[in-house]
Structure 1
């Protein structure tokens, strides 16, 4: 930037020399006067250089009316945070006038003037015209871009690059134009998004066509033009994503976001019926929001340790965040595994409009209500046949889009207000927002794993009654299963005892057969005693397993303790 005073000084010095030369040729025959005039001309040129140099040295961030910079020259803000000049994005060789961060090692452009009309070579210049308009000129002095500044008076106009990154054209008594009102793909702290509720004019962030081409892309972002305090991304004219309503502390469609990342957003009501949005950073690090060429809003923070930008927030980054992914009255739930396909379901009382498409994963048709409201069945809001309408509570969801507000300060009153209005399909009473009613389709509903809100879906009484038979069936099923399990346990216990008794009887029968068929051992060998079944049963404690020594080819072998005449049984 220190080169700018020299550049401007050289330009002015050249003009002064030209004047001197023209003057010296007027009296070539007078050597004395000619010599004196040459000395006076040189002295005048020096005075011009000295006069101009301090001006540009002290105003390296400013262009005065009629001044310009060429490709290769730059302006730098007073605090040396931002720089303005010509650049080429990515792999492109085209030249654009832009503003970037001066102190960072990576050139990061946050504003571009001639987005749609690049200079094809390095012959371009950037100037502040006498009428206060900024111009980008090619080498043939053709105007490629103009700020089209229009003001009643541009007297004393100058253009200054501020430390906020804003490039401001101002006259002696008014601001004529500023780059923050004509931003590109980047929103930085200090910028203000506005929506004029009377004229519906609003400022937008617009994506680049690609990383190599800063011309207008397919996506834009700004305040909801219907007057809701929420930010919306559009793809062309279609909604792609929204933040949800601002409740004073957070956005209703982002309950899972770290509160630290939500300290900065601020919505407010400005003068003359305007809604304003700005962002106040929570630390001194460089931060910016970039709308990428593929329609993702990313919050990036400069990391000094890695000397690179770090993305700390991005939306949308999954299918359920895409606007109205499951159609009207559908609820989108993210897959259980990261990257898995979303799951769409109809809210209670509704069914797919096109079941075949729905089963094939095409949910765009959404869902339709199965049963008319009571007031719809007789065509009046005062009542109708059958049971009265009621509400089914859906928990942990994002609030549907396009609500209406009424001045009711309690939840019971909000419920009654919805019932009185036959077109009311749902209501909610979130903290910080108040009573909200939906009279149109419920759009863009998402199920959250944590956080979210309660939405009360209005249903016909018959739809709510379906809960009772289902509950009875469940109770009966549980009772029947319990009875079956108890009966099974009882039968198992009885069978076990029966088998044990049969086994004992078989052993007893076998021993008795042996006593009948085998000759008495005492008769043949009086030294070997015989035993009755009763004595063996008593000695083995009814053939208890604790007395079993093992099992051989003829059956189990038991340890016995027998009493003799000399030794009682232990």
Structure 2
């Protein structure tokens, strides 16, 4: 088990000691039978050494408990306590089988402090064993009679269940400790409930404090970060009268645990073999996760302040209360529903779906039929899908108030809200006008693609050529370039694209990308088609399809109304719209997208041209990585590659790539670090000039400020409020990413952890990689100057 090289010696030592205590030849190092026992001061270890069972005090020396704890690192957290309410006084205690076949814990006077409370039985050959999962079980001839996993404490381990019996109401749930040194049951509980759809609730006594939302077949709708680091798979299973929730570790990943703290917080921990420590992945509740804090018909958004906002078409029920910070009264409609043909539906995207108290769930119903059901009921206020898996057919309709809606930057769901005027929002005809929606998407997508160097057309040239080809009636053969690749990518008819863009009018162009206004070559085009059809992530731009006519090739992407990130962070006016929370969300979103490319996607992909101009922003300012024409696919075990074809943008290129053509995931990490510093400062990587210092750039400037202990001065002065610890952490992460040596730079997996967990200790950054390039001129001058046109993607062929 990784670094635990001392485990065999420990196991052997425990074995000898307990043998001496019990004089039983049938004793095993991981368990006891009806002829052996475990005394205070001794321990059992699971077969792989991951868990230890023994007698421990938990901060109060006079009180001892029979505990299971992780046998890892210095902390060794306790995951289960047998005698929570009945500590042993002093150091004496013994665990053994009683005469009735129960496992009992007795003190020095023979008083029973804890028992498994099984039905009495003196027969058989019962054995109690500590398993490598952390489960302590009693079995008889292979039949499990009792297990500690059936009596949870404050910790949920992988394969352990939170369950409820739908017939009897019996529940297996977490209960907090009273205090960190007192494991007796506290006032908080976290349990699975099944009323209409499975969900979990965090209760303070009987008061609902937090719910992660309903289970949608993949995750709870209010927990987009549920498995952000891909440690485990989660499932909710219905088996007979029992419904249970459980996590299972993904092969090759480290341990994980979910803990309900004495203060009523849920903390998800993961073990880091490299750091030899436990890392907090996330904690709930946090901002926007206290149940119903914004009241009906409103959303809570962490990145906004105040957090509460009325849904579009609604206003605060009491403006006075809202102005005083009390939003629990919620919002009311500006215009009442008519319950007629004028009513329609507006999608509210990327949210936690409302509480299910006033909802109706119907299985085996498509989303389109769900809409019809809601439209035909005057009391229906919204509808959505209860199962987001492919082919999922669970309809959820709400009547009355919609409560506990939360906005997320990724992994949220879509809620279809009933509105008074169907014509006020073009998306209200979501299902009735699919053709119009597709054309509208193409219209916006083609415009957006020009702005990210993906549509690659010259407005005037394309307009003339398109008109000529249309008049000549040339046929289209979109599969010609598919190279036999049987992908699921939709091919759009060229005439449809031309109509949607008004014959590629220059007025419909949003911008011009790094490759200019001409088409990419076949290599880049096919590279992007093959990559993007297989990439699906909230922080990657989504390809809608492509179109080919003769030698003209176009990629159609989803419309990004806020264009690219550089339009905001480098604009004197627009960058004022980016507050601290929004900048941090953008940084984390980009990091998650890169983590997906490097670690979690079907292919291992190195982007090679990550920059502000290739980060697109949707209507909620969520970042999405774009432009994969120059990306490189790596094999599963491949770490680096070499190329003579240097493609990317100076200023963002890592030194080893720009100079020697060495490609690795750390090349993207370097670019990400530059991007982090740009987002924080609002300064282009080559936007700093110091006379006599040709090597100065944003990374070296940040490094200088860091060394002088005044790096807070890096923050864009237009940002008026910012938590100092969060800013320092982001700057440190940025500097770690731009370190000179690729081996010193963190992986994107580590970057996401650093950015999302305050408990992770960050190493001190080393000197950034500086890159001095000669500015190409038409003269033979040998004057050296920094050359970094941030906006332009360069393609350079050079020997090494």
Instruction: Report the TM-score when normalising by structure 2.
Output: 0.47
Q: Is the 8 A contact 1:197 1:227 kept in 2?
A: no
User: Which has the higher mean CA deviation after the structures are superposed, 155-164 or 243-252?
Assistant: 243-252
> Is the contact between residue 408 and residue 414 of structure 1 (CA under 8 Å) also seen in structure 2?
no
Give 1:459 deviation, angstroms.
3.8
| The 10-residue stretch of structure 1 (259-268 or 201-210) with the greater mean CA deviation from structure 2 | 259-268
Deviation, 1:451, is: 4.6
1:392 aligns with 2:346: yes
**TM-aligned CA deviation for residue 208 of structure 1:** 1.6
The 3 A distance-change label for structure 1 pair 227 and 96 is farther
CA RMSD of aligned residues (A): 2.9
Contact 1:333/1:448 (8 A) holds in 2: yes
Residue of structure 2 in register with 1:113 after alignment: 82
Q: Is the 8 A contact 2:346 2:425 kept in 1?
A: no
Select 1:234's aligned residue among 203, 207, 213. Answer: 203
The alignment partner of 1:412 has SS state of helix
Q: Equivalent residue for 1:82?
A: 51
Conserved? CA contact 1:3–1:73, under 8 Å: no
SS of corresponding position for 1:145: strand
Other-structure match for 2:248: 280
Structure 2 residue corresponding to 1:319, chosen from 287, 292, 296: 287
| Deviation string, structure 1 residues 371-405 (Cα, Å, up to 9, x no partner) | 65445xxxxxxx7xxx7433333233221121422
User: What's the counterpart of residue 408 of structure 2?
Assistant: 448
Describe the SS at the equivalent of 1:230: strand
Matches within 5 A, 1:133-212: 133-150=102-119, 155-172=124-141, 174-212=143-181
Partner SS, residue 321 of structure 1:
coil
1:427 Cα deviation (Å)? 0.9
User: Equivalents in 1 of 2:411, 2:253: separation in Å?
Assistant: 30
Tell which deviates more after alignment, 321-330 or 242-251: 242-251
Residue aligned with 2:380, SS: coil
Distance in 1 between residues matched to 2:88 and 2:331, nearest whole Å? 52
Going from structure 1 to structure 2, the CA distance change for 1:261 and 1:322 (only over 3 Å counts) comes to farther
Inter-partner Cα distance in structure 1 for 2:345 and 2:20 = 79
Q: CA–CA distance in 2 between the matches of 1:313 and 1:440?
A: 33
Bigger Cα displacement from structure 2, 114-123 vs 124-133 = 124-133
Question: What SS class does the counterpart of residue 277 from structure 1 fall into?
Answer: strand
Are the aligned partners of 1:302 and 1:310 in contact in 2 as well (CA < 8 Å)? yes
**Change over 3 Å in CA distance of 1:227–1:413 after alignment to 2:** closer
| CA distance in structure 2 between the aligned counterparts of 1:189 and 1:466, rounded to whole angstroms | 48
Three-state SS of the structure 2 residue aligned to 1:224 is strand
Cα distance in structure 1, aligned partners of 2:352 and 2:219: 12
SS in 2 for 1:358: helix
Among candidates 51, 55, 60, match of residue 26 of structure 2: 55
Give the 3-state SS of the residue equivalent to 1:95 in structure 2.
strand
1:346 is matched with which residue? 310
Q: What SS class does the counterpart of residue 264 from structure 1 fall into? A: strand
Distance change (3 Å), C-alpha of 1:258 and 1:276? closer
* Structure 2 match to 1:543: none
* CA contact 1:406–1:436 (8 Å) conserved in 2: yes
> Contact 2:204–2:264 (CA<8 Å) still a contact in 1?
yes
Q: Is the 8 A contact 1:132 1:158 kept in 2?
A: no
Aligned to 1:438: 398
Unaligned runs of 5+ residues in structure 1 are 13-48, 376-382, 469-570
2:373 to 417, 430, 435: 417
Cα distance between partner residues in 2 of 1:449 and 1:190: 30
Structure 1: distance between partners of 2:205 and 2:118: 28
CA contact (8 A) 2:210 2:289 kept: yes
Instruction: Tell me by how many angstroms 1:263 deviates.
Output: 4.5
Per the alignment, residue 365 of structure 1 pairs with: 329
Shift of 1:235: 2.1
| 2:261 aligned residue (292, 295, 299) | 292
- Equivalent position SS for 2:194: coil
- Give, in angstroms, the shift of residue 98 of structure 1: 0.3
CA displacement 1:469-527 (0-9 Å, x = unmatched): xxxxxxxxxxxxxxxxxxxxxxxxxxxxxxxxxxxxxxxxxxxxxxxxxxxxxxxxxxx
Q: Is the contact made by 1:319 and 1:342 (CA closer than 8 Å) also made in structure 2? A: no
- Report the alpha carbon displacement of residue 437 of structure 1 after superposing the two structures with TM: 0.5
Which residue pairs with 1:404 in the alignment? 360
CA distance in 2, matches of 1:225, 1:257: 20
Residue 168 of structure 1: SS of its match in structure 2? strand
What is the number of equivalent residue pairs in this alignment?
409
Shift, 1:438, TM fit: 0.9
1:334 corresponds, among 277, 295, 302, to: 302
CA–CA separation in structure 2 for the residues paired with 1:415 and 1:97: 55
CA offset at residue 465 of structure 1? Answer: 7.9
Tell me the distance in 2 between the aligned counterparts of 1:256 and 1:177.
34
Query: Is it true that 1:97 corresponds to 2:63 in the alignment?
Result: no
How far apart in 2 are the matches of 1:248 and 1:355?
A: 39
CA distance in 2, matches of 1:6, 1:87: 20
Task: Note if contact 1:319-1:325 (Cα within 8 Å) is conserved in structure 2.
Answer: no
CA distance in 1, matches of 2:372, 2:407: 26
SS in 1 for 2:63: coil
